Amino acid sequence: MRLTILGCYSATPRTMTNPSAQVLEMRGHLFLIDCGEGTQVELRRNKIKFSRINHIFISHLHGDHFFGLPGLVSTFRLLGRENPLHIHGPKGIKEAITLLLKLGDSWTNYPLHFHELTSKDPETLLKLPELEVSTLPLDHRIYTNGFLFKEKPKERSLDVEAARARGIDRAYFRKLKQGLNVPDREGKEVDHREVTLDPPPTKSYAYCSDTAYMEALIPQIKGVDVLYHESTFLKSEEHLCEPTKHSSARQAASIAKAAEVNHLILGHYSTRYKSLELFQEEASEYFGQTHLAEDGKVFDF
């Protein structure tokens, strides 16, 4: 599981910082999560192949999370894309994007599918053989979702020599890898655990931006491997969290600790602060495995 941060700052782009966008690579799939201004430039800078992106997830319709999307959709057309592109985002995103395509008479020459979201309850958006993606309803000033990416369990590893020694016909090997008991040549049942090994643990990633402190989120992300949680403010400006519906680094760390996640990544920083290290110092008091998102940074888990 690889996460590439394309942008992790709030509000407006600057010469050295970009608004929200990131790419998650999981089980051979490449997902774009949010698409602030400059996203396609950062995709090129990080040498990420445009053609591998088939699903884009937009958390909400504030500009710093989707103003880069119209340009990217148009660039796919100019590059001769043929594969379908699926865009998952709040209701209204189809109207916003197709209006620009209409006014510019620049309809895509590839299938463009919008999956608009309205539910305030968690729902499954995408089911693939290897993984699933579902929503994480958040508490922001407008309708907003985070996204939870979860691997499905892999097959068990077969100890071929052990299976043969137990007199199991190779026709049953597939069932053993699926975790099923099978008969040996004498018809006696063989426990699959005796001739197979447990698969590697599944991985999971939760993306939560933008949101106020939200305890209802905790059971939905319980035990995830990696949590990306917005941390717009430091504790000294925590009084701004409720009116703006954002979180502080301390609050993000509190959520991570309560949810017993393995790793916390902070992001969506306000540009009022001179040092990102202040965010890590504050969060680490509550949760040890805290990391800082930075534009261009790659996390491998």
Among the listed residues 147, 37, 52, the one whose alpha carbon sits nearest the alpha carbon of residue 90: 147
**Bond prior to 210 in cis (omega within 30° of 0):** yes
Instruction: Say if residue 300 carries a ligand binding annotation.
Output: no
Strand partners of residue 126: 133
- Does the active-site annotation cover 295? no
Reduced DSSP (H G I as helix, E B as strand, rest coil) percent helix, strand, coil of the chain, to 5: 30, 30, 40
Handedness of CA 169, 170, 172, 173 (dihedral sign): positive
- At residue 164, φ and ψ (nearest 5 deg) are -65, -40
Instruction: Say if residue 65 carries a ligand binding annotation.
Output: yes
Among the options 64, 105, 184, 191, which is catalytic? 64
Instruction: Say if residue 34 carries a ligand binding annotation.
Output: no
Structural tokens at position 223: 């035990």
Instruction: Say if residue 140 carries a ligand binding annotation.
Output: yes
In this structure, which amino acid lies at residue 96? A
- Rounded Cα–Cα distance for residues 173 and 176 (Å): 5
Instruction: Say if residue 60 carries a ligand binding annotation.
Output: yes
Residue pointed to by tokens 């949760």: 287
Strand partners of residue 32: 23, 56
- Rounded Cα–Cα distance for residues 194 and 293 (Å): 44
Instruction: Say if residue 29 carries a ligand binding annotation.
Output: no
Which residues does 142 contact at the CB level (< 8 Å), separation at least 6? 60, 61, 62, 90
Query: Do the bridges between strand 263-267 and strand 226-230 make them parallel or antiparallel, or are there none, so unpaired?
Result: parallel
Which residues does 278 contact at the CB level (< 8 Å), separation at least 6? 234, 249
Instruction: Say if residue 291 carries a ligand binding annotation.
Output: no
Annotated binding residues for Zn(2+), written as ranges, equal: 60, 62, 64-65, 140, 210, 268
Catalytic amino acids? 64
Annotated binding residues, written as ranges, equal: 60, 62, 64-65, 140, 210, 268
